[in-house]
Amino acid sequence: MRKRSLALACAFVAAGVLLGPVPAAHAAVAPVLYGAGSDGTPASGLVSVYASSDSAITSITAHLYAPDSAAGDPEVAEVSDFTRASGTDQQGSWRTSTPLRLADLGVYRVMVDLTDADGDTTTAQGTYEYELEANLTDLQATPQNPDYKHQDVTVTGGFTVTDPRTGETTPAAGKQVDLEISNEADKTTTTGADGRFTATYTVDDPSIANVNAWLRLDEPWYQSRANQSVEVRAVQSQTRMTLDATDVYVKAGQPATVSGTAEVYVGGAWKPLAGAVVDEVWDGGDGGPGVASRPVTGADGRFTGNLTVPRSGRVEVQVRTGTYLGYSGFQTVHVYVANKTSITGFTATLNKYSELTAKGLLNTGKQMPSNAVNKVELQYSADGRTGWKTVKTVTPGSGDPETGAPFKGTFDAPYKGYYRAHFKGSRDFQESYSAVVYAKRTPTRITDGNASPEPVHKGRTITYKGKLQQYTSSAWKAYANQKVKILFRPKGSSTWYDMGNTYTRSDGTFSKGFTASKDGTWVAVLLYPNSTHLVSSGREDYVDVI
């Protein structure tokens, strides 16, 4: 499709340079032909000969035969007006001065007759290229240094064609032109009536590109190397990023959002960078596969990528370099992945003294929380839905984090209510709650507690009376058939003594008599209720013994 430029003349000259010394004059040596051709410009119509001899070459005649002619066919032209163009009369190049005007283009067979001053002659064969000459003029690429804002390059130029048959040079109108662009796909365009052509392409490779234009002709032709190529080199602009956040907190299994704004420095100012790829890469650091997101910036330079990473780590973020974009530099986003946690086996038990013991297991996976985080809140709510209040904070003990670290706490509590355990979590652990449990005991009370008579004579009977009640169905009611213990503390003592038991009647009343022996205080207590009731005590009553 493209024809190489003619270099035959150079080869002939090189051959002449490699010659050894010219033989001495006394030796009869015939002239030597090294080549015949078109003097590097086939459209000139001139014939060149390259030869040497042991004496001055005095006569040169070239006989031209039509392309593809056979031996014995008549010659189509004969030229003998050779003038030495370079070298000496013994070794050099000779060229005709009158252009040939032949009928047909092509490669002609040439027979050259050489005669030197000694009368020695040689006839040797060569070839002669008679072709159209395409000349490229004013090849330009605009801009030669495309940038982010100007990525399209327009290539222009013109072609003329010189025809050796007429000697005329005319615009190459309506001819196809092949643009050869290194590092890019070639393009094809067509010349106008003035031989001019225009083609536009988008540079998408940062390397230097050489742009060449080659004319297509239907007849034998060659193209001059004059103004053959132009260099195009893209300019990279500075880029930068502003991240929305450098710390991102997510739960295990949820994607981490890494976002920000990218800018490019063009026209002396920072402007939004649109259509650029942003590389967001998380490296596990253990040789395993990484996780990446590669969002593309919008018209406002904004980008958002989502990465689901298996654990906490760093995400390196940068604007991808390209034909027009320089290196932005890495920025780091720390992603903290909170592992799942759970509280299992939670129970809340209320004893007879209205003390509640809550316990359970904190499960945090393969990692134990730090001391500052390893806390469980024990919480209370009257209705189990609202008004949750932390009543005690406990620290789980050591244990396998996968099977659960045990925790336990005891505190005074209302006679009924709802309880749960709460783990606040942290950047490395998710928050979790236990199941809600209900704890209840029925309150009791002793009313009308009284020891009589007051005072009492020593040795006489003193009787302690009262009434035991339980709070049920939102009212205080008699609590029958329950054992009530009577306690006595002598005057000046801090010790209570068990004086015996009595049982409540159907109306909840009870009484028991004792022999008065010394001054002191009497009281009745429900000290051993069943598993569903709370303890209670009556009024303390001091009695003098006289």
Q: Does one domain contain both 387 and 305?
A: no
Question: Measured between alpha carbons, how far is 533 from 528 in angstroms, rounded to an integer?
Answer: 9
Write the CATH number for 351. Answer: 2.60.40.2060
Within-domain flag for 101: yes
Contact 119, 54 (CB under 8 A): no
Strands (E), 12-151: 32-37, 48-52, 57-65, 77-79, 82-87, 91-96, 106-116, 121-130, 132-142
Q: Does one domain contain both 485 and 518?
A: yes
Q: Does one domain contain both 54 and 112?
A: yes
Nearest Cα to Cα of residue 215 among 179, 177, 186, 181: 177
Within-domain flag for 3: no
Q: Does one domain contain both 372 and 322?
A: no
Output b/e per residue, 157-169; b: 16+ Cβ within 10 A. Answer: bbbbbbbbbeeee
Question: Measured between alpha carbons, how far is 143 from 230 in angstroms, rounded to an integer?
Answer: 11
Q: Does one domain contain both 20 and 104?
A: yes
Output b/e per residue, 276-292; b: 16+ Cβ within 10 A. Answer: bbbbbbbbeeeeeeebe
Write the CATH number for 502. Answer: 2.60.40.730
Contact 108, 100 (CB under 8 A): no
Within-domain flag for 2: no
Three-state secondary-structure class, residue 10: helix
pTM of the model: 0.61
Within-domain flag for 459: yes
Within-domain flag for 1: no
Q: 278-282 and 291-293: which strand pairing?
A: antiparallel
Query: How do the pLDDT tens digits run along the chain, 546 residues long?
Result: 444 333 333 333 333 333 344 444 445 789 999 999 987 788 999 999 999 999 999 999 999 999 999 888 999 999 999 999 999 999 999 999 999 999 999 999 999 999 999 999 999 999 999 999 999 999 999 999 999 989 999 999 999 999 999 999 999 999 999 999 998 889 999 999 999 999 999 998 888 999 999 999 999 998 876 667 999 999 999 999 999 999 999 999 999 999 999 999 998 999 999 999 999 999 877 666 789 999 999 999 999 999 999 989 999 999 999 889 998 899 999 999 999 999 999 999 999 999 999 999 999 988 889 999 999 999 999 999 999 999 999 999 987 777 899 999 999 999 999 999 999 999 999 999 999 999 999 999 999 999 999 999 999 999 999 999 999 999 999 999 999 999 999 999 999 999 999 999 999 999 999 999 999 999 999 999 999 999 999 999 999 999
Within-domain flag for 85: yes
Other Cβ atoms less than 10 A from the Cβ of 521: the count is 16
Q: Does one domain contain both 346 and 412?
A: yes
Domain count, the chain: 5
Q: Does one domain contain both 432 and 461?
A: no
Q: Does one domain contain both 226 and 144?
A: yes
Distances (CA, A) of 364 to 248, 341, 409: 21, 5, 19
Question: Measured between alpha carbons, how far is 333 from 338 in angstroms, rounded to an integer?
Answer: 16
Q: 461-472 and 405-412: which strand pairing?
A: unpaired
HSE-CB of 357 using CA atoms within 13 angstroms:
5
Question: Measured between alpha carbons, how far is 257 from 244 in angstroms, rounded to an integer?
Answer: 10
Last residue of a domain, one of 232, 248, 263: 232
Write the CATH number for 247. Answer: 2.60.40.10
Within-domain flag for 295: yes
Tokens describing residue 212: 């060449």
Output b/e per residue, 93-128; b: 16+ Cβ within 10 A. Answer: bbbbeebbebeebeebbbbbbbbbebebebebebeb
Q: Does one domain contain both 140 and 191?
A: yes
Contact 60, 122 (CB under 8 A): no
Q: Does one domain contain both 378 and 457?
A: no
Write the CATH number for 25. Answer: 2.60.40
Residue 467: give the domain boundaries: 444-543
Q: Does one domain contain both 435 and 459?
A: no
Last residue of a domain, one of 309, 338, 367: 338
Within-domain flag for 483: yes
Last residue of a domain, one of 408, 440, 472: 440
Q: Does one domain contain both 22 and 101?
A: yes
Note the residue count of the chain. Answer: 546
